[in-house]
Amino acid sequence: MITYNPKDWFTFIFRFHKADTLRQLAPLIIGISVYCWIVAFLELNVFRLSENSHVKNITAMHTLLSFVISMLLVFRTNTAYDRWWEGRKLWGSLVNNSRNLAIKLNAILGHEEAAHRSFFKKIIPMYASVLSHHLHAETTRLALDEHEHPELKNLDTNRHMPNQVASMMFQRVNRLYEEGKIKGDQLIVLNSELQSFTDIMGACERIKNTPIPFSYSVFLKKFIFFYVMTLPFSFVISLGYIAIPVVAFIFYVLASLELIAEEIEDPFGGDENDLPMIKMASNIKKHVAEILN
């Protein structure tokens, strides 16, 4: 995720970074500019259309459609940002719940329970790390001491990794209860914390696996395309060849909003504006280690 100072205007204006839509849209902008030049050449030099031509009345259609396309883009960007912000809130909850679980375990387990404390010190941040890889849909690599905790060898990378880690945490808590090291009311408290991990994972999977409806996304792209492709016919008569940069700029603005929405609607990807899950998992590991040390 890109960190920045929102008050630094001039740096943003003249700064081009990897996530800038201008880089992605450059080929299309060039193509639109060439298309607009062809239309301008035909209207001005071949057909020699004048200010009284009926083609100029196409502007009325653009005026009516501009309201519709603005409403569609507002809904599109708001929906995408809601998904991004919900993902951020879920990972914020995961950070807090990991700390809460570590704090409660630190109070319940005495310092003589070094083996159990060491297990939870590794397994709690391990859940965040596994979940981040799971949401990235990449193979998870776990850096744990298998000699100290041989039960971690039972992890099957072909199965749902976060569920396995959550199951291992609950099995250890249940084992502590059976050994009489925690009481029944303490088991209930810890169980609610462990259940919250799975609830967060399910909500993240809902965002990851449920994109914006296909028909809506396709319609918006077609709408923007045909809207921009008809702009030169009316703009050339009144603006001449100046219509070329004007149409290119309008296309850049409209298409950029759609590209930004596409990027942030999946907050768990690998784009620059996506959530820094690896960094948050690293912070969880640091905080849990401080609590259970």
Note whether 107 and 35 are same-domain residues: no
Note whether 137 and 248 are same-domain residues: no
Note whether 216 and 198 are same-domain residues: no
* Residue 126 located in a structural domain: yes
Note whether 102 and 142 are same-domain residues: yes
* Residue 8 located in a structural domain: no
What pLDDT was estimated at residue 145?
Answer: 41
* Residue 132 located in a structural domain: yes
Note whether 180 and 242 are same-domain residues: no
Q: Name the token pair of 8.
A: 């630094």
What pLDDT was estimated at residue 140?
Answer: 32
Note whether 147 and 288 are same-domain residues: yes
What pLDDT was estimated at residue 135?
Answer: 84
pLDDT in tens, 22-40: 888 999 999 999 999 999 9
Note whether 206 and 232 are same-domain residues: no
* Residue 1 located in a structural domain: no
What pLDDT was estimated at residue 195?
Answer: 94
What pLDDT was estimated at residue 32?
Answer: 95
What pLDDT was estimated at residue 20?
Answer: 75
Q: Block means of pLDDT (10 residues each) for the chain, length 293 residues?
A: 67 64 90 94 80 70 87 91 95 95 91 86 93 68 42 59 91 91 90 93 87 86 92 86 94 92 88 89 94 87
Residue 137 region, left (φ>0) first, then alpha (ψ -120 to 50), else beta?
A: left
Note whether 258 and 217 are same-domain residues: yes
The number of residues making up the chain comes to: 293
pTM score, two decimals? 0.83
* Residue 270 located in a structural domain: no
pLDDT in tens, 131-147: 998 887 533 333 334 44
Note whether 216 and 133 are same-domain residues: no
Contact 200, 126 (CB under 8 A): no
Note whether 80 and 98 are same-domain residues: no
Domain hosting 37: range is: 22-84+211-264
* Residue 269 located in a structural domain: no
**What total number of domains does the chain contain?**
2
Note whether 162 and 283 are same-domain residues: yes
Note whether 167 and 245 are same-domain residues: no
* Residue 12 located in a structural domain: no
What pLDDT was estimated at residue 177?
Answer: 92
